[in-house]
Structure 1
Amino acid sequence: MQSVKKLVDLPSMRVAYGAGDGDDAAGADGVAANLDPSWLTGDPPWLGLFEAWLAEAVVARIPEPNAMVLGTVDADGRPGTRTVLCKGADARGIVFFTGYRSQKGEALASNPYASATFPWIALERQVHVRGRVVKVTPEATQAYWQARPRGSQLSAYTSAQSQPIASRADLERAAQETAQRFGGFDAGVPVPVPEDWGGYLIEPEVVEFWQGRANRLHNRARAVRTADGWTLDRLQP
């Protein structure tokens, strides 16, 4: 077997989390204090810190700060991950939108649980959410759909998400036909919500916050929902 030139030496790659001098000693997030379960307050206890960290990711100009890696498991027990955009976060949980017949939609139909990770690596922070998934109401889907750019509406209406298509040209042709049907890309009659498209809500059962620290001695604080309320603890890295 012919050897392949190694372009990247993965085993030697290192990131010095929470290291440096002066202000840098606090780590990329600029917070000298160590993340602690006592930071999780309110009802639910995870929401306040999540909102604060998300806002700080926006201020720090993290690309796509509301992007999250969504994990699902299909009917055969095979996991799948992909990046989607969080479009809502409140006391009920985390909301995203997609096609119900997409790969993730099919997986959620058979196994309605998911995980989501917000990877704010440039700030040396992550948030992990795990819990049961339910569809949002048609009214909530309609409200979000109306707020989407028209081009995004036309693309979603066109796409049989996750299904094969012969070529990019075929996809663009289908999008053009959809646009003509509704009066154009820039204006025309309203584009209706596709019947197989809508929102999902992850109802958090476990929410974990991660903060990078020197020598891989990272901080992890977790909130777990139980029948009696929420329990808080620190996890070893």
Structure 2
Amino acid sequence: MGSSVQRLAGVGFALVAGPALVLLLGPGDGVTLSNCAACAISAIGLAGSRRQVRLARMLPLIGAAACTVPVGAWTAARVPAPALLVGIGLLVSAAALLVLRGVRASGLRGVRGALAAGAVSGFMNSAAGVGGPAVSLYAVNAGWSAREFVPNAQVYGVAVNLFSLAAKGAPHLAVPVWSATAAGIVLGAGVGRLLAERVAERRARTVVLALALAGGLATLGKGLRGL
């Protein structure tokens, strides 16, 4: 499902898949597997749009994320699992609502806005597996078009997820889980490609955020029960 919405809307893999993977595998392996899969699906998307990437515009975001990813990894390693589930659920739910509302803020423009968005995104990506919303909010406030945003979001997704994996290492999962993940990415990308020809971008974005909000609230509920 995450791969489908990523192919359909250009973003949204981690928002949709992250909470579900956390519920299935726990906050440690769930977030790290989300980082692995998000890196892969971003690389696939980048392969077809690399000529549209404006790397100079992304460097402040990527540099700021590199500084805060270790902080997110350190936090995730030391917070008890139920509390981490609550934190992930709150972050995902809040991020989905903020992007859905298209929050406007003068502080999210220019180099200062890029640094702030990258710093928040790096922390959230490493700790909760969802670094995209902060970058989406920055793009909205910076006035980026969808054509500008999507290829640059892919290169950012590859970078921030590689940083997260370098900080935490790969998840310790059985071969069947890795195989199922790879099959899901390939199948979802194919389904998303077919749907992209039939579903309007705005409707696809709403579906992505609704799924993300549902997953965030479910994760929050499980964490609260654990506490």
Instruction: With the length of structure 2 as denominator, give the TM-score of the two structures.
Output: 0.24
Which of 1 and 2 has greater Rg?
1
Q: Which has a greater percent of strand?
A: 1
Q: Which has a greater percent of helix?
A: 2
